Amino acid sequence: MALDPERRRQLHAMKLSSIVSAHLELSVEELLGTDDGASAKLSDGSVAVLAEERHHRALGGALASSARSSGNEVHLFTTDAGDVLARRASLFSGPITVWEIEKDRTIKATPAQPLAETKALGAPELIATLEESGLEVVSEHGVIVGEVEGLEVARIISGDNGDRIDVGVGAHDREAFGLLHGDLPTALAIEQVANVVRSHRVPGAEPHPLNRLGAERWLRAHLISHPEKVGMKVLKAAAPPVERTNLKEAVPAVAKGVSLDGRDTVVVSAVGIDLDLVPFAADARLLHNPEAELKITVPQRDGHQILEDLVDRLVDPAEIIRIEDGWREWMSPPSVP
């Protein structure tokens, strides 16, 4: 039986209080339990945060708590992804310690190395099919997909009988489409699904799950088509610093290219309030080019001051670019027939 949400928050708060007492020898002045963990203001002005859910996304919230505190020291306790959090913490100034919880002890996490480049499947004919169908081909950590305005509609799959293209929006849709329309030629199957998605990701389209899903990747697709809107000559899609686990998870979208003044630049886009956007974006720059400029793009209504506060703590500078809220109404170039 699942715990009542309020009871879970209470348990998270109690756990953090116990950890602080046992390992930091500090007293808790303010304590708040959340769905994902808990946060506390400590007697020396520092902040302690417990990550119980969405572990690798916990650093932004911890830094935001610190921004509202009188001190800038952060203690982040986690049961998972401590190495990723420690890597991201190293990109920020000020004392930030990531602690890994192991049974009845805590140890300082060792920063992980950025993900190694994963070679994509060698399937030029299948990639050509995606391109000829008018899809944007995106390769992330060895996975090749075909997207329409940032939404995946086809994926190259490697199976026992060789490589193939599965069609559909996400794993469940691909499976269902295969069962119902498995006899359709691949190009026709792609066209059928892509046309449905395109009808919902155009200016003036009525609200629909197909234009809410993957909004950050839709924004990236628009910026790739209109790089000048963020001061870029050219942009192309790039892999995130951690692999996406599913299509429904809102993960900032990464691109890289050359700015109008000729500098290598990483551009990270998000839609909605995301406290972990800045650590994620800094991690993306570390993955692709630590010397590159970093631009973080959000719609105007999502460009809250806390993003600027977190950017100010980065060791290497970054720029927040607020774009017009009506970005969905931008016209994209016509698809290749």
DSSP 56: G
β-pairing, 105-108 with 136-140?
A: unpaired
Q: Are residues 285 and 234 located together in one domain of the fold?
A: yes
Q: Would you state the structure tokens that stand for residue 267, as one six-digit string?
A: 């551009």
Q: Where do the DSSP E strands lie in 82-239? A: 96-102, 105-108, 136-140, 143-148, 151-159, 162-167, 232-238
Listed residues 167, 200, 233: the one ending a domain:
200
CA distances from 44 to 29, 30, 33, 41, 212 (A): 9, 12, 20, 8, 43
- At 337 the pLDDT is 40
**Phi, psi at 33, each rounded to 5°:** -90, 145
Within a domain: 104: yes
β-pairing, 264-269 with 253-259?
A: antiparallel
Q: Are residues 135 and 62 located together in one domain of the fold?
A: no
- Identify the CATH number of the domain in which residue 227 sits: 3.40.1350.10
Residue identified by tokens 């630590």 is 290
- Domain limits at 149? 124-200
- Are 257 and 293 in contact by the 8 Å Cβ rule? The answer is no
Specify the number of domains making up the chain: 3
- Single out the residue of 80, 95, 94, 77 nearest to residue 38, CA to CA: 77
Listed residues 108, 139, 166: the one ending a domain:
108
- At 330 the pLDDT is 83
**Phi, psi at 27, each rounded to 5°:** -95, 150
> Coil, strand, or helix at residue 25?
coil
Q: What is the side-by-side order of every strand in the sheet holding 319-323? A: 232-238, 253-259, 264-269, 293-299, 319-323
Spatial distance between the Cα atoms of 21 and 286, rounded to a whole number of angstroms: 35
- Single out the residue of 297, 220, 280, 310 nearest to residue 87, CA to CA: 280
Within a domain: 336: no
Q: Are residues 43 and 76 located together in one domain of the fold?
A: yes
Question: pTM here?
Answer: 0.92
Average pLDDT, consecutive stretches of 10 residues, N- to C-terminus, the chain (337 residues): 82 93 88 92 93 93 86 92 96 95 88 82 87 94 93 89 88 76 84 93 90 94 95 96 85 97 97 95 97 98 95 97 92 52
Q: Are residues 176 and 248 located together in one domain of the fold?
A: no
Spatial distance between the Cα atoms of 288 and 234, rounded to a whole number of angstroms: 16
Q: Are residues 221 and 321 located together in one domain of the fold?
A: yes
